[in-house]
Structure 1
């Protein structure tokens, strides 16, 4: 995959990622532009950096983002604001969805109406029971945590949080903290020879 930001492009390659703390990564990419010269158009390429959300399990990102020890210490009101509109892949189907919100009650208390397998009526079931008993998926810590809503506010579709992973290359657009900025500067520093080598490699691919 590739992230395009105006005239900048960033590849989904962990070698280009630098952890700056708080669940945020600096992603190294390239800026390209055409410039008019006496010989015609010239392609100008330089190194560029953007901020992205740490891909992977949603819980891992939230723990890092809020700097807490475990998911049971998370501020879920803050988490709801942070996660809104981010994209996740759900397991085991590997489908991709956009996060609409979080459930108001934990997974073990959140109920929905399920059609019976024999087609004879419906039954109330918790999301936890559905995934553990019907889908036969082992859930280690989701019971006491909110579920992620990937549907709509009025027509929710809930998944246990541990079955959701944040998709890579999602931009982080909030202001960085002082520590994050310092970490980014330190980890983005390149020697001239290394910078030239990287740009030469890109030029060969162009």
Structure 2
């Protein structure tokens, strides 16, 4: 439940001087839950009734659909190929559009991805992922502490001098380690999930429609 995760995040931060307020901790847990939902969305199986036609409404609160089964109840399951359906954005929201129209009253089984819920009364986060979620929340808090202490300056009296300048870097490193711990506990390779990009230059024709002199074809 939420109280358990709050205590676990507090254990990771060890805020003895009360730099973190309860409101900041709450926002950090919300941010961590949003990231966790992005990486490990909750999978729910729900049956819906088609109204007929090639569009099918997605149940409220669904992020996206992972699988479509129609008709329902066959062995093996009659899963539609991914090439036969897709998400379609309309002025009123997102629905499914299918290449094969459905009859009114057809039952359709959807594997739906939803956001995780974490409160005092409901908790959809698997127990084995609690440490990862708390680690990400603690990383967010250490980022905030690093930003707060970045304005600290060294005192002018040498006898009381403390190296305050190293504090922001120390907190930032702890945030980085905890964020990496989150990915390690979930088994996510951040390097493999980063999109690759490439740039290419396409030769353009001259203004008269012919070849440019710097891009001619060699003759043999």
TM-score by length of 1: 0.24
User: Higher strand share goes to which structure?
Assistant: 1
**Structure whose alpha-carbon radius of gyration is higher:** 2
Structure 1 or 2: more helix by fraction:
2
Provide TM-score, normalisation by structure 2: 0.23
